[in-house]
């Protein structure tokens, strides 16, 4: 099996190896067939991947792919990084032997998972901010306009369950469209 010079270079001198202890997002992915794993850590600043590190327990092709994806993703916006695919990694590596092409999936999928993990954390933080706003401010029931109590996710007057709209953070009837922004997404 012959590897390209690029693969050998990234395998023997992998870039961005390590752990980011205070990572904003972490993605871990394993190959169920061979048991190899890649864990990828990202730091995000102004919607760009500011720093990236990875650890791969696996074959040379998996290590080279993770190293390559770390270089490709660094400095990119989250949207651009989400678009990085296994086939682009293989292309940048100057190709992989057919049997090893699947190894490139670990790098791409770990990157995508790390971004998803970052976004999920962000949403969690935003929801916490919404809850805080609800605690600090007086909100109205979208049905009867009575002020909601501190616990807020239930209107005593109408006896209806409410949830915070995932889009605008205001209380809406559970499972219904938000009367403020029209979104159907809710998250208690
Ligand atoms: Fe498992 Fe390459 S053989 S990732």
* 35, 112 contact by CB (below 8 A): no
Q: What is the mean pLDDT of residues 46-70?
A: 96
Report pLDDT digits (tens) over 21-42: 999 999 999 987 888 999 999 9
The tokens for 57 are: 């327990």
The tokens for 110 are: 């770990």
Dist. CA 165–CA 161, nearest whole Å: 13
158 flagged as catalytic? no
- Report domain extents, the chain: 5-121, 138-187
The pLDDT of residue 183 is above 70: yes
* 160, 173 contact by CB (below 8 A): yes
Distance 168 CA to ligand 1 centre (A): 44
Report pLDDT digits (tens) over 126-153: 667 666 666 655 677 777 777 776 555 7
What does the mean pLDDT of the chain come to? 87
34 flagged as catalytic? yes
- Does the CB atom of residue 186 touch ligand 1 within 6 A? no
Question: CA–CA distance from 59 to each of 29, 31, 56, 106, 154 (Å)?
Answer: 14, 11, 8, 11, 54
Residue 130's pLDDT is: 65
- Does the CB atom of residue 37 touch ligand 1 within 6 A? no
Distance 99 CA to ligand 1 centre (A): 9
The pLDDT of residue 64 is above 80: yes
Dist. CA 33–CA 162, nearest whole Å: 45
Name every residue whose Cβ is closer than 8 Å to that of residue 169 and which is 6 or more positions away in sequence.
126, 127, 129, 130, 133, 134
Distance 62 CA to ligand 1 centre (A): 6
- Compare 164 and 22 and report the one with higher pLDDT: 22
Q: What kind of fold does domain 5-121 have according to CATH?
A: Sufe protein. Chain: A (3.90.1010)
Residue 85's pLDDT is: 96
């Amino acid at each position: 099996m012959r590897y390209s010079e690029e693969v050998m270079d990234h395998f023997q001198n992998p870039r961005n190896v390590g752990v980011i202890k205070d990572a904003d997002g972490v993605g871990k992915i394993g190959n169920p067939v061979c048991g190899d794993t890649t864990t990828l850590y990202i730091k995000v600043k102004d919607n760009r991947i500011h720093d990236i590190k990875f650890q791969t327990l696996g074959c040379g092709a998996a290590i080279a792919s993770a190293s390559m994806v770390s270089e490709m993703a660094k400095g990119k916006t989250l949207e651009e990084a989400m678009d990085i695919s296994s086939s682009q990694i293989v292309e940048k590596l100057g190709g992989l032997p057919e049997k090893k092409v699947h190894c490139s999936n670990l790098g791409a999928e770990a990157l995508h998972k790390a971004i998803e993990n970052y976004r999920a954390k962000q949403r969690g933080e935003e929801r916490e901010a919404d809850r805080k706003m609800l605690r600090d401010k007086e909100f109205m029931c979208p049905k009867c306009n009575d002020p909601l109590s501190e616990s807020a996710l239930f209107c005593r007057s109408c006896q209806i369950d409410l949830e915070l709209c995932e889009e605008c953070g205001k209380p809406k009837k559970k499972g219904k469209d938000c009367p403020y922004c029209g979104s159907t997404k809710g998250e208690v």
